[in-house]
Amino acid sequence: MASELKVEQEFSKVIRERRSVRKYDSSWKIPDEEIKEILAEAILAPSSSNLQPWRFIVITDQEIKAKLLPIAHNQAQTTESSAMIAVLGDTEAYSNAETIYGQASAMGLMPEDVAATMAKRSREGYSSLPKEKLEDIALVDGGLVSMQLMLAAKARGYDTVPMGGYDAAALKELFQISDRYIPVMLIALGKAAVEGRATNRLPLEDVVHWNGFQA
């Protein structure tokens, strides 16, 4: 019981202490293995029908970061952080339905026939949706994985800043990303040189409505 409480307190601390950090120690390189551990926790995020539409480009190479700098409106964290992570959403994530559900049945998480039915249903259901709807889904799921990535990083003593201030078309051109994928956000990841500024939130009463919605 006591140890459960400790875990809860620590999780709450991670959430409360996460801040957008924009000044990084540029000499600090997070080992690739640690970045992989952060990503491995991030991808435990939920997604629509577990289709996991997120894709990541991890940019640690200074030359590539320099190319990204003008695309990210010259925001200094682009070159000063340890890694820049471009989070992308796959609008054709349904094409992995058989792989994902096949893996679930191989792991004993569901019977083979159930997995096959669910895969078929997912592929047929999602592939018939309009592109805009598939983009919405990829953005929602991409947002969830991004948040989880930032908290996983904070739990390890690293900091992040989510970035929507970039030229999505130029990003797609730099990495030759096809229209199948939609950029969700960039995330700078590194060791803070200067703590993030404290920020405020609207009072809970202003954003929460109980049993109805009167805005």
Smallest separation (angstroms) from ligand FMN to the CB of 186:
8
Q: Looking at beta carbons, which residue is closest to ligand FMN? A: 165
Q: What is the CA radius of gyration of the chain?
A: 19
26 vs 50, beta carbon nearer ligand FMN: 26
Strand 159-163 vs strand 23-24: parallel, antiparallel, or unpaired? unpaired
92 vs 167, beta carbon nearer ligand FMN: 167
176 vs 199, beta carbon nearer ligand FMN: 199
**Chain positions contacting ligand FMN, by CB under 6 A:** 19-20, 22, 75, 161-165, 185, 196, 199
Smallest separation (angstroms) from ligand FMN to the CB of 4:
27
Token pair of 153 as six digits? 């990083």
- The 3-class SS string of 65-92 reads HHHHHHHCCCCCHHHHCCEEEEEEEECC
19 vs 129, beta carbon nearer ligand FMN: 19
Local structure of residue 215 (DSSP, 8 states): -
H-only helix segments in 107-166 = 112-127, 131-155
Smallest separation (angstroms) from ligand FMN to the CB of 149:
12
